[in-house]
Amino acid sequence: ISQEREVIKQGEDVKEESHKEAKIIIHLVQQSQRHLTQQVDIAVQRKIQLLTKQREEAEKILKRLKGYEEFVEQNLNRGSQQQVLRDKQSMIQEMTPVNQDVDLLYFNQ
């Protein structure tokens, strides 16, 4: 009877110890999950900020391009051929930085 009680007691001790270990493991997994969730949230925020900045830059570039388009249309409708040819060179020079901005915006995605 004494040995039976000892075996039962050992069994209960093992169960209790395994229960404690399981709780510790569960706690560690939950901590890890919280940490990973925070990391994902941070990554998402950074990507959203980048996309917002890129959208704003794209809108600025588009506005500049619309202005150039309007200028060219007016020039073609009102100007002489010589004026159009003169303005072509200055427009090319003005468009170069805009094209570079578009390239930077495209390659920084």
Cα–Cα distance measured from residue 25 to residue 99, given in angstroms and rounded to the nearest whole number: 56
pLDDT in tens, 77-88: 887 777 877 887
The string of pLDDT tens digits covering residues 1-22 is 799 999 999 999 999 999 999 9
More confident residue, 22 or 72: 22
Contact 74, 84 (CB under 8 A): no
Report the amino acid identity of residue 37: T
pLDDT single digits (tens) 25-39: 999 999 999 999 999
Output the six-digit token pair for 34: 């919280």
pTM: 0.61
